[in-house]
Structure 1
Amino acid sequence: MSDLVHIVYMSFSSKKLSESDLNDFLKLIRKKNQERGVTGLLLYKDEAFIQLIEGNKETIDQLFNIISKDSRHSNILKLLEEPIRKRAFPDWSMGFRTINNDQINQIPGFSDFMQNNHSKIDNNKCAEAVSHLLYSFRKHT
């Protein structure tokens, strides 16, 4: 049995990030991810991040623990953690894209999750929506 897993989480930046900040951050995490054998996708919109990280279970658990303690993130919410048979993003040390409302609206079946404040989030439905967003984003961009 494979020891591959993926984790999908959502967080908010503790400060507004410029394009330069994001590019510097990406250079750093892509290098570290490549060294660790981690792949995935990071989406950013209005200080909100949704990220999927995938790789060896022990490595992903350690990485998520580091992310959880990183002061650059706030309100970290793990949406999904599960074993996988193969990587969805095998060639991406960290695919990245900022997204806007027009792009979100073009993804088939995607809700207005990142556009509206929700008083209560059903984690199971949220995980499904985020997984759908990530995979649709890969397919349609």
Structure 2
Amino acid sequence: MADLIHIVYLSYSVKELSESELNSLLATIRRKNEVQNITGLLLYNDEAFIQVIEGNRETIHQIFDLISKDSRHSNIVKLLEEPITKRAFPDWSMGFRKIDKEQNLQLPGFSDFMHTDKSTVSMKGITKEVMHLLNSFRKHT
């Protein structure tokens, strides 16, 4: 797959989402992602999202641009963007898991980054940490 990348980002919902709203959002995302050949993972915890989107560079940039302008998100931080040789979530049009604080504490390598007050946290060189968190989540949930 030429020109394959992934972007990992963090954002906050402008309001708490009900189970019904989350399910509706996921249904919409999955339909759109399937059409555009986008795969990934979405985690939701207390109004905070962390998402991995993977696919063609141009398409991923377009999707991230739309997400960045979406009024349902606030404080969007791109954690990681890099080329990849293969997809981490090839069969998931958008894998999803809602996690709570108790589940967070059980994840190896867990960091409370999603709820820190530090807005100037350095994002450079965190590829290993981001992928460790995502892989730990996938393995242990």
TM-score scaled by length of structure 2? 0.92
> How far has the Cα of 1:14 moved from its partner?
1.3
Structure 1: gaps spanning 5 or more residues: none
Contact 1:2 1:84 in 2 (8 A): no
The runs of 4+ residues in structure 1 deviating greater than 6 Å are none
Match of 1:9 in 2: 9
Aligned identity (percent) is 65
> How far has the Cα of 1:113 moved from its partner?
2.2
Structure 2 Cα separation of the partners of residues 88 and 52 of structure 1: 9
Match of 2:51 in 1: 51
Structure 1 Cα separation of the partners of residues 72 and 113 of structure 2: 22
How far does the alpha carbon of each residue in 1:73-104 deviate from its partner, in whole angstroms, 9 at most, with x for none? 11111110000000000000000111112211
Contact 1:40 1:54 in 2 (8 A): yes
Match of 1:85 in 2: 85
> How far has the Cα of 1:114 moved from its partner?
3.0
RMSD value, Cα:
1.6
Structure 2: gaps spanning 5 or more residues: none
Contact 1:38 1:54 in 2 (8 A): yes
Match of 1:124 in 2: 124
Segment of structure 1 superposing worse, 130-139 or 17-26: 130-139
TM-score scaled by length of structure 1? 0.92
Pairing of 1:15-94 with structure 2 (within 5 A):
15-94=15-94
Segment of structure 1 superposing worse, 121-130 or 1-10: 121-130
